[in-house]
Amino acid sequence: MSDALVVIPVATLAAILCRKLNFTPIPLYILVGMLMGQTGIIEGDETGKFLGSLGIVFLLFYIGLKINPKTLRTNIGGIALAGLIDFVFNFTPAFILLSLLGFDLLKGFILASAIYISSSAVNLKLLIDGRKLIYPFAETVVWLMVFEDVVLIAILSILSAREILSFLLIIPLLALVYVIYRSNLLSGLFKRDDEIPVLLTFTIPSLALLVAEKLKLSEALVAISLGISFSRHGIDSITRPFKDIFLAIFFVFFGTLITFKISDFSIVLLLAAVAVTGKFVSGYVIGKFIHDSTKDGVEIFKHTVARGEFSVILSSLFALENAGIIAGIVLFTSVLGPILTKIR
């Protein structure tokens, strides 16, 4: 029996339970995956791995759809200032600590990046559920998520360009993104009222897996580039169901790959402390010097502390042997974030 036939109903039950409790399902997806992996219920067949890969490409395609170059240009000043503060206080301390713990530069860069990037899925939902989108700090949180999305593109480009050939292929890929974005290619097909828009929306990010395999590029980079290419066509609502389904499957399968070692426990505690402290300091500084309100700074901290999908994706693609460390930080912060937002 395909693992997917087990994972899909289990992920559905996990999502129902978490939504009943008004909590993000990401930690439970991972924990369930770890349990099923350790007990041998899931062995990791090719169908399951393929569906998990679709989770990555659909999430990053969806993120690409949300990145509007025109909006970025309009708000570049505010986005850049808040984003740079967030980056300095969250990437840098983690990278230094990882270097002191003996991780090499590349591994330290990957893990520090995974620790730095907040979870858009968790944090933006906390804003919506808490009905806080009308507050001034909420706009800053949204722009921080956008800034981190852009940084994610840069990180994926760096990690995908470790080979000269890959680096050379990124240049025409970005040129193609610009051409497609500026044109009205396929716009008529997306406006139809039959099955064509759905099929086309499913096909485009799925092609990221094929293109990435053939050109030896990161499927994540190709997926997010395709998302930016088609961001003018308003297909977010069509993409979202695919993203939600495949991403849930991805998290469960990610959990099956984790072998948490007791020796990692102290490292997880240290890095989790750095992860939480970094978001608190950056939130406080942004609130103090941009909003002129330390109260807003605390709210920014509460709504950016959770790590999630991007941390997991970076570790699964580039640092699978350290997946247990990142999983521990994701589990801790994604539970802490919702708890903090309920404290007044």
Token duo for residue 68:
């509007």
Name the residue with higher pLDDT: 221 or 97.
97
**pLDDT at site 76:** 79
Task: Please state, in angstroms and rounded to a whole number, the distance separating the CA atoms of residues 270 and 319.
Answer: 19
Token duo for residue 162:
């470790």
**pLDDT at site 161:** 66
**pLDDT at site 153:** 85
Task: Please state, in angstroms and rounded to a whole number, the distance separating the CA atoms of residues 283 and 21.
Answer: 27
Token duo for residue 112:
């520090």
Q: What is the DSSP letter of 198?
A: H
Domain count for the chain, please give it: 1
Q: Supply the DSSP string of 87-124, one letter for each residue.
A: HHHHHHHHHHHHHHTT--HHHHHHHHHHHH---HHHHH
Name the residue with higher pLDDT: 84 or 158.
84
C-beta neighbour count of 178 within 10 angstroms:
12
pLDDT at 262 over 90: no
**pLDDT at site 79:** 81
C-beta neighbour count of 337 within 10 angstroms:
25
Task: Please state, in angstroms and rounded to a whole number, the distance separating the CA atoms of residues 93 and 44.
Answer: 35
Say what the pTM is: 0.88
Task: Please state, in angstroms and rounded to a whole number, the distance separating the CA atoms of residues 45 and 243.
Answer: 21
pLDDT digits (tens, 9 = 90+) for 22-81: 888 999 999 999 999 888 888 767 787 788 899 999 999 998 898 877 766 777 777 899
Average pLDDT over residues 279-283: 98
Average pLDDT over residues 250-256: 92
**pLDDT at site 167:** 58
Token duo for residue 314:
């970076």
Name the residue with higher pLDDT: 47 or 12.
12
SS3 for 132? coil
Q: What is the DSSP letter of 262?
A: G
Name the residue with higher pLDDT: 201 or 159.
201
Which segment, 119-128, 180-189, 207-216, is predicted with the most confidence on average? Answer: 119-128
Average pLDDT over residues 124-145: 91
Where in the sequence is the domain holding 124, given as residue range(s)? 3-341
Terminal-residue alpha carbon distance, the chain: 49
- Per the CB < 8 A criterion, the answer to whether 215 and 170 are in contact is no
- Per the CB < 8 A criterion, the answer to whether 221 and 157 are in contact is yes
Distances (CA, A) of 337 to 262, 303, 306, 308: 25, 7, 5, 11
pLDDT at 104 over 80: yes
Name the residue with higher pLDDT: 209 or 73.
209
pLDDT digits (tens, 9 = 90+) for 141-166: 999 998 998 899 889 888 876 555 56
Average pLDDT over residues 288-310: 95
Name the residue with higher pLDDT: 31 or 257.
31
Name the residue with higher pLDDT: 44 or 115.
115
Query: What CATH number is attached to the domain comprising 42?
Result: 1.20.1530.20
SS3 for 97? helix
